[in-house]
Amino acid sequence: MRQRGLCFLLACSTWASADVTLEFRPEAAVVPVGQSARVGLYATWDGHAYGRTISAVELVFAWDQPRLRLLGLDPAGAVPLLTSGFPSVGSGGLNETSPPADGNGLYRALAMLGMPIDTTEGALLTTFVFRAWSPAGEAPVSMLISAGSPVVHTRVYDGVVPNADATGALIGTSICIVPAPGVGVCLLLPGLLLMGGPRRR
């Protein structure tokens, strides 16, 4: 009986170590100026121990405000959520408007009651929609550990244990903005920008 109890404790500690990665994935890596830049927010179990469900996400994020303007969210294709948006209350002052406009903000998603989100295969929570504003190369869209005053933190909440922190890696992205109609090409390497077009012979 004692040995079975020990095995149970080991299994629980292993399960509790599993985390969920939050990741921004752009629908298109290169966007002409003036066009929409769409970035999906995905939650994905890290593959350790058992599968993972989540009940809520609070994400502190930032973007290159001179080059990108946040237009809002698009729930198309995402998992069903009770709420999904930019809360004015409890945002640490990050959400000065909805959507925020100054280059940083807080996004919050709550799962449907009694229906935690399965992240085992990866779950699309929502899509952030930006407008490409300036053809100036790479425009990052980042995830932050914390920001604001009072400070708010990025958190992923477990779908089984109330208020348990299941936050794993935070993976941002970048959008390459090129002059319309896309005569430039950005290499997705830090600090590198290759401009060019068809050569005449």
For 50, the token pair is 């058992």
pLDDT by 10s per residue, the chain, length 201: 333 333 322 233 333 446 999 999 999 999 999 999 999 999 999 887 666 999 999 999 999 999 999 999 999 999 999 999 999 999 999 999 999 999 999 999 999 999 999 999 999 999 999 999 988 789 999 999 999 999 999 999 999 999 999 999 999 999 999 998 744 445 444 443 333 333 344
Q: How many other C-beta atoms lie within 10 A of the C-beta of residue 157?
A: 20
Reported as type and span, the H/E element at residue 170 is strand 167-171
For 1, the token pair is 């009986």
4-28 pLDDT, tens per residue? 333 322 233 333 446 999 999 999 9
Q: State residue 13 phi and psi, 5-degree precision.
A: -70, -35
Dist CA 99 CA 88 (whole Å): 10
- What is each CA distance from 101 to 36, 65, 95, 138, in whole angstroms? 16, 8, 8, 19
Domain ranges of the chain: 18-182
Dist CA 19 CA 44 (whole Å): 9
The pLDDT assigned to 168 comes to 95
Exposed e or buried b for every residue in 44-69, given b needs 16+ CB within 10 A? bbeeebeebbbbbbbbbbbbbbebbb
Ranges assigned E (strand) in 86-159: 104-111, 117-118, 123-132, 137-144, 146-147, 152-153, 155-158
Dist CA 117 CA 56 (whole Å): 8
For 161, the token pair is 């244990």
Single pTM value for the model: 0.82
Q: State residue 132 phi and psi, 5-degree precision.
A: -70, 120
CA 37 centroid distance within chain: 14
Q: Hey, what CATH class is 18-182 in? A: mainly beta
